[in-house]
Structure 1
Amino acid sequence: MLIPLVVNWLHSLEILITMLQLSVVHRLPQRFRWLSDRHSVIETDDTDSEEHDVIALRLISHDGVPAWEILHELKDMLTAIQVDGKIAECEGQPCLFIRRCDESATNCCLKNQGVAIAETFIGR
């Protein structure tokens, strides 16, 4: 009885790892700040203050329930390297919010796990 459960668990884990490696995140261009201490409500921040500056990473390769699940896995990965992240909805989509000062560490961690980072290039 235990073997089928282990096989199903391993299959689910394999699917999740594949989804992470096929994930693409995009950094939203706006800067944000939390409106409350509960860190559940955000707003765009046009000030020059970087003290509470957070950025949003949106998953563009998945949507719906899989997007929420993948973002939670990404958040757990970042927790392992002591980067605090919060998941909240922004513009109708789930996003992972991190402090701006943690952006480089976040990008390195995600790339090392096979997550692609989409970047905007401005043509001249």
Structure 2
Amino acid sequence: MNSEHFSVVHRLPHTYRWLSGFAGIKVEAIPLPGDEDSNLVGLKLLSPEGESARQILQGLNLSLREIQVESNIVECEGELCLFVKCDDESATMCRLKNIGTAIAESVSVSAIYPF
């Protein structure tokens, strides 16, 4: 069984785009979503760091490419993250769940304790 089966990823809270002149290498957060074709979603690995994280992200990257979803591993805010086009977010999440990756989602306190 591959290590990506025990991975947990979290969607970064911002929308991103490729930094001008650095497509596929560097990203920058954008305040308001614009052209969906160029916007990116970032996924951060919540467990292992360093070389283990790189290996797990490479496995996830390869799995996404098997279903023809383009993804890139890029350092963002000091950590390696996986970036996909916003248009591919649903297919990405579906694929990751299908290979056993857990998707951590933010939950508001009011959703748990509505009073």
Fold equivalence (TM over 0.5): yes
Residues 37 and 86, structure 2, Cα contact 8 Å, conserved in 1 = no
1:74-122 alpha-carbon deviations (Å, 9 max, x no partner)? 0000001010001110011000000011111111101110110000011
Task: Please tell me the residue identity of whatever aligns with 2:45.
Answer: L
2:86 maps to 100
Quick one: which amino acid aligns to residue 8 of structure 2?
A: V
Equivalent residue for 2:12, pick from 12, 28, 34? 28
Say if 1:39 and 1:123 are closer, same or farther in 2 by CA, change over 3 A: same
The match for 1:60 among 31, 40, 46 is 46
Percent pairwise identity: 43
How does the TM-score come out when normalised to structure 1? 0.82
Structure possessing the higher relative contact order (Cα contacts under 8 Å, 6 or more residues apart): 2
Number of residue equivalences: 108
**How far is the alpha carbon of 1:26 from its aligned partner?**
0.5
Decide whether the 8 Å contact of 1:22 with 1:61 is kept in 2. Answer: no
Determine which structure has the larger helix proportion and give its number.
1
Unaligned runs of 5+ in 2: 111-115
* Ranges in structure 1 where 5+ consecutive residues have no aligned partner: 1-13
- 2:88 is the alignment partner of 1:119: no
SS of structure 2 residue aligned to 1:26? strand
Structural mapping, 1:61-76, within 5 Å: 61-76=47-62
Task: Describe the SS at the equivalent of 1:28.
Answer: strand
Question: Which has the higher Rg, Structure 1 or Structure 2?
Answer: 1
RMSD of the TM alignment (CA)?
1.2
Q: Which residue of 1 aligns with 2:32?
A: 47
